Chain A
Amino acid sequence: MKNLEGRIGTIILWLLLLTAPYWMPLFGGYTGLGTRVLVLALAAMSVNFLLGFTGVLSFGHAAFFGLGAYGAGMTIKYIYASTMLGLAIGVLVGILGAMIIGAMIVRLRGVYFAMVTIAFGQVFYFVAFRWSSLTGGDDGLTGWKRVPLDLGVTQIDILHNDIAFYYLVLVCVAVCSAAMALLLRSPFGRTLLAIRENERRARFLGIPVDKHIWMSFVCSAAFCSVAGALYAYLDNFVDPRAFRWEQSGDFVIMAVLGGMRSFWGPLIGAAVFVVLQDKISSVTDYWMSILGLLFVLAVVFFPRGVLGVVKRKQGL
C-alpha cells in the first residue's frame, strides 16, 4: 500500500510462484524442489513473524515444525487417512505445544529465550527418537501416504501428481501469508512492532508485553506447524531430525539471509538455501561450509538481507 514498487514486486513474486512448475525445469529445477522451497519458506516466514516483527529470537521452532509433521503423519497412519484432517491435527498439536511452552518461557528475553527454546526443541527430538514403537524412532515414521483430496464432485490426486501437490502447498502458503500480513497490519500487529522497537515504551503505553509476546509466539508456531505438516507430506516421511536444533537454525538462517525486516525476505532466503543445498550437495558433501560463508558475508555486508539491499538501492 505504501509504495508502488512494493506492490509490483509482490505481484511479480506471485506470478513466478503460480507458474513455477512450468518454468523451473528450464533452469534445471523440478517440481519437488519448488514445493520444498515453499514449505521451508513458510517455516522461515513463521520464525520471522517472531524475529523480524516482534523482535524475539526462537531457536526452537523445529519443535512446532516437528509437531506439525508428526501430528499429520501419525493421524494418517493411526487414525484416519485424510490429508486435511492430518494437517488440522498437526496444527492443533503444534498450537497446543506452543501455548504450553510459550507460557513457561515468555518472561525470558534475548539469548536466554533462544537457549531455552533450543532446549525444548531437543526434548521433542529425543522423545521422537526414543519412542520408536510409536514414532518409528531413528528410522522415521513410514508406512503412510498423503491422500488424494476428495472434493465430493471431483478428486485432486495430490499423491501421484506432483504439480497438484505443489499447488496445494501454494494455497496453504498463500492463506498463511495473507493471515500473517493481516495480523501485522492490525492494531495487534502494531503492538508487536512496538515491542520489537522498544519494550519499555510499549509497556508504558499500557501494552501487556509478556502476554502479547506469548500470543505472537503461538501464532508463529501455528504457521510453523502448517509448514511441518506439509513437510511430512512432501516425502510421505518424517524423521526426528525435523525436531532437531539444526532445523531451527536453518529457519533462522533463511530468515536472516533473506532479510528479517521484510515480509517476503525469508521466502527468498529459503529459495537460496534450498537451491544451494540441492545443487552443491550433489557436488560436494561440504555444501554447508559454502552456505556458512555466504551467511557470514550476508550478515557482514548486507545486514538487512537480500531484499533489504534491493530496497535500499531503490531508495525506499
Chain B
Amino acid sequence: MSLLDVRDVSRHFGSLVAVDHVSFKVEPGELRAVIGPNGAGKTTFFNLISGLFPPSSGSILLDGQDITTVPAHRRVGLGISRTFQITEIFPELTVRDNLLIPVESAAGLRLRPWISRADRVKVADRVQELLESGGLADKAERLAGELSHGDQRATEIMMSLALQPRLLLLDEPTAGMGDQETRDVVRVIRNLHKKEGLSIVLIEHDMRVIFHLADRIMVLAEGAVLADGTPAEIAADERVQAAYLGSAE
C-alpha cells in the first residue's frame, strides 16, 4: 500500500484553478520531487497534503486511511510534517526552545501544566540529539531569529524531524542558499532518505539538487500533471523540455 495516495485532487480559488485533477503516490521510503514553473501549483499542492486547506474535490489517503478532511494539526499526529517556502520558526525563542516545542508536542506533553523529571530528561536528550544532527549545537542558546538564513532553514528542518514524521514535505529547502549551504542541506536530506528510510516529498527549483536526490519526479504546469517518472524519463521528456526546462535556459 502506498504511504500517501492523492486521488484526483483539485483546488479552486474563485475562478483560478490552482491544482487541476492531480493524482500522486508516495511509496514508503521513496524520495519524490515536485517541479514546475512558478505558479504551477506546487505549494498549493503541498498545502492540500498538509491540510492548510481542504481540496475542492478529490481525496487524500495516508496508509489507506482517508485524511481529506482531517485538520492540519491532527495530520501532524498521523505522521505528516512539513517546512515552508519562507522559513517558519519561532524567531524570539532560542534554537533549543524551537526544538523543545515540537519534541514535547510529539511526546504528547503539550497539554501538561507540569513536567516530570524523567520526561524532562528524556525530552532534553532528544533536543540535544536534534541540535547535533542539524549542526546547531553551538548555537542552541541563541535566538532563532538571529541565525543565518541557512541555519534558520536547518532549524526548521530539525523542527519537522522532531515530530518523528513518516512523511516529510520540504518546500524549496535550498531556496536562497549559497553553494556550500545547498550542499549541506542536500547531504542532510540524502542521509534522512538513505540511512533512515524516511519518505520525503520535495519541491525544488535547483535541477542539480533534484536529479541528485529524487527517485521519481512529478512535473506540474498550470496546476495539472505534465509528466511523472524517473529522473532519466523526465530529462528525456520533450513536453517537459518545451514547457519547463527549455524556458529556464
Which A residues have a C-beta under 8 Å from some C-beta of B? Answer: 182-183, 186-191, 193-194, 197-198, 200-209, 212
Chain A residues closer than 8 Å to B82, beta-carbon distance? 204
Interchain CB contact under 8 A, A190 and B97: yes
**Residue in B73, B93, B114, B115 whose beta carbon sits within 8 Å of that of A206 in the complex:** B73
Q: Which residue of A lies closest to B88 (CB)?
A: A201
> Interface residues of B, CB < 8 Å — how many?
32
- A209→B100 CA distance, assembly (Å): 17
Which residues of B line the A interface, CB within 8 A?
50, 71-74, 76-77, 81-82, 84, 88-93, 97, 100-102, 104-106, 109-115, 159, 163
Determine whether the beta carbon of A193 is less than 8 Å from that of B93.
Answer: yes
Can you add 9 more A-B contacts, CB < 8 Å, to A204-B72, A206-B105? A186-B114, A187-B110, A191-B101, A191-B105, A201-B89, A205-B105, A207-B105, A207-B110, A208-B74
Q: Which residue of A187, A189, A193, A203 contacts B90 across the interface (Cβ within 8 Å)?
A: A193
Residues of A contacting B106 in the complex (Cβ-Cβ under 8 angstroms): 206
Across the interface, do B112 and A194 meet the contact criterion of CB distance under 8 Å?
Answer: no
Given A204-B72, A205-B101, A206-B163: A188 and B112 interface contact (C-beta under 8 Å)? yes
Complex-state Cα separation, A125 to B119, whole angstroms: 46
Known: A193-B90, A197-B92, A198-B88. A203 touches B72 (CB 8 A): yes
Q: Out of B74, B77, B84, B90, name the residue touching A194 (CB < 8 Å).
A: B90
- Tell me the smallest distance from the CB of A53 to a CB of chain B, in Å: 11
13 A-B pairs with CB atoms under 8 Å apart are A187-B104, A187-B112, A193-B93, A194-B93, A197-B91, A197-B93, A200-B84, A200-B88, A205-B76, A205-B101, A206-B110, A207-B110, A212-B110
Distance A202 CA – B77 CA, assembled complex (angstroms): 13
CB distance from B70 to the nearest CB of A (A): 12
Min C-beta distance of A166 to chain B, whole Å: 29
Q: With the chains together, A189 CA to B93 CA distance in Å?
A: 13
B156 nearest in chain A by CB position: A201
A188 pairs with B113, CB closer than 8 A: yes
CA distance A190 to B90 in the complex (A): 11
State A9–B110 Cα separation when bound (angstroms): 30
A182/B76 in contact, CB under 8 A = no
* Cβ–Cβ contact A205 & B102, under 8 A: yes
Does A194 contact B88, Cβ atoms closer than 8 Å?
A: no
Contact of B88 among A183, A204, A212 (CB under 8 A): A204
Contact flag A197-B73 (CB < 8 Å), given A205-B159, A205-B163: no
* 9 smallest beta-carbon distances between A and B, as pairs: A206-B76, A197-B90, A201-B88, A187-B109, A187-B104, A205-B102, A187-B112, A206-B105, A194-B101
